[in-house]
Amino acid sequence: MHRLIAPAVAALAVAIAAPAFAKTDITVTIGPALQKKAETYGQRELDDLTKWLADSVRSAYARNDNGPDRVNLVIEDVKPNRPTAGQWGSRLGLSMRSIALGGASVTGTVVTGGRSTPISYSWYETDIHNEIGATTWSDADKAFMYLSNQLRRGELPNTPVRVARQDGTDFGSFR
């Protein structure tokens, strides 16, 4: 009997929390400049990043009772901390031991009550010493988390968006 109570309580908790997730419509797309890097990074990597950003924002708003009606985000740029599988195949000398400063730039709109407010957010790591133990997208994930937390608090960021070089040679650059 006790074995049935715990799953029932868990199902009830999910059912109660479900409306919070459905309250804010969240869409995430890849910007045209970043889409050109799909061959370099790999399309699966970009698809994963859109899912991670959407999940991060959805999770942040799930803890907030008064979220917006809709959030439309565009990932304009990302920079990996470690080479992606696509980069390994295209550049000799890269390995999982290769490390770089990473981050992300995101633009979009937040729609509340029919009023659309543009946002832009960029965060890139500035100190290589913070990269110990970094995975491929550690800093991009941090950028998504920082953006999500600002949106949850009702702060609509408007920071300059950094766009990387179009030739795809920015891995390991410190600009």
125-163 pLDDT, tens per residue?
999 888 888 899 999 999 999 999 999 988 888 866 655
Nearest to 30 by CA among 4, 6, 54: 54
pTM: 0.78
| pLDDT tens, position by position, 20-31 | 444 889 999 999
Residues 81, 71: Cα–Cα separation, whole Å: 27
Cβ(63)–Cβ(100) under 8 Å? no
